[in-house]
Amino acid sequence: MFLLRTIVFIIIFSLILILAYPLLIVFNIATGGDGFGLCNELTTCNIPITEGPKLLVFLIGIFFFLVFLLRLIMKYMNSLQNKNSIL
């Protein structure tokens, strides 16, 4: 049961990181960074038009996969608790 709770914590933490990643990129560029390797020089930055949608689809896909895993684990934990119940 402890292992399942640890996995749930890791999944929830990963979901928060996935949601915060675009904000971290924008913050890094705003403070003079390169957007974690996205753009070396802001004035001469040449990012392909498909880079944003690819990142969006990738992050949304991972997000829904993790939500699906979280749902499965929570259903399994509920079934374990019902089996161990006295009633």
Q: What is the pLDDT of residues 28-62, one digit of tens each?
A: 888 877 777 777 776 777 777 887 788 889 989 99
The domain total for the chain is 1
Dist CA 30 CA 16 (whole Å): 21
Q: Is 25 a domain residue?
A: yes
pTM beyond cutoff 0.85: no
Q: What is the pLDDT of residues 3-15, one digit of tens each?
A: 888 999 999 999 9
Let me know if residue 45 belongs to a domain: yes
List phi, psi (to 5°) of 81: -70, -35
Residue 77 maps to a domain: yes
36: left (phi over 0), alpha (psi -120 to 50) or beta: left
In a domain, 43, yes or no: yes
In a domain, 32, yes or no: yes
Euclidean distance between CA atoms 12 and 77, whole angstroms: 16
Give the structural domain span for 77: 2-82
Has residue 87 been placed in a domain?
no
Structural domain includes residue 56 = yes
Domain-embedded: residue 59: yes
